[in-house]
Amino acid sequence: MTTLYEKDFAIFDRKQFAFKQLKETHTEEELSQVKASFKDVWDKWKHLQQNIYQELASNYFAQPKVESWTNGWNLRSHYWSAYRGAHRQNENACIGVLLNKKQLQVYLMFQEYKSETRQGTKEQYNQLLAYLPKWSEQVDVSDYYIWPQQEHELTDHLPLKNYLADAQVQQRFQDEVNQQTFQLGKLFFRAELPDVEGQIIQVFNELTQLYRLLEEITD
């Protein structure tokens, strides 16, 4: 079992992520220490993703894509992994797991990056909004949030229970994401989180119900 500690979130508490800037403000030894701290947390992150994959106990999902701890020129401002069905690797929809300085989030998303090269339209994905009331009857929506894809990850998102409780809020939200998409997931705010695998797997199983509905929508 993995425990995420406050210090694991804290590595992202910085204003500079570009190596060019960091070299201007840090000694070589200091920069090496910064890199080592990021790499240590990323190694833990990658191990956590492998544990999650193994605990899914299903042949449905393929190995996750775990984004590197740098993009070549910058340290990452968050760590991110994407899970897709073994036979759905070329689809835009996926379940993401993300760690930033504010929270750990497990969420359903439409991956915008290079979306034109993958299958599944925004319109098809957004049809999932119609299923949320029924889906929520089987799920404890506490700590679940919903937000437009374009909303920054550090923004305070809309609690799902507030969305579901107000038809006008739903309509405004649907109008806002009409030309875009939405993201939906559970947020674990910065704190010590024991047995992270168990907590993520529970959310994963809940979101998978919606993720698999897309197979029916896109058929």
Instruction: Specify the pLDDT at position 219.
Output: 67
Q: Residue 113: what pLDDT?
A: 72
The model's pLDDT over 203-216, given as tens digits with 9 standing for 90+, comes to: 999 999 999 999 88
The pair of three-digit structure tokens given for residue 76, joined into one six-digit string? 């990452």
Domains of the chain: 6-218 (3.30.930.20)
Q: Identify the pLDDT of residue 57.
A: 73
For the chain, residues with pLDDT lower than 50 are none
pTM, rounded to two decimals:
0.94
Whole-number pLDDT of residue 16 = 94
Number of C-beta neighbours around residue 203 at 10 A? 22
Contact 148, 180 (CB under 8 A): yes
145 vs 36, 65, 76, 160, 204, CA distance in Å?
A: 33, 24, 24, 5, 14
pLDDT value, residue 116:
73
Res 168: pLDDT: 97
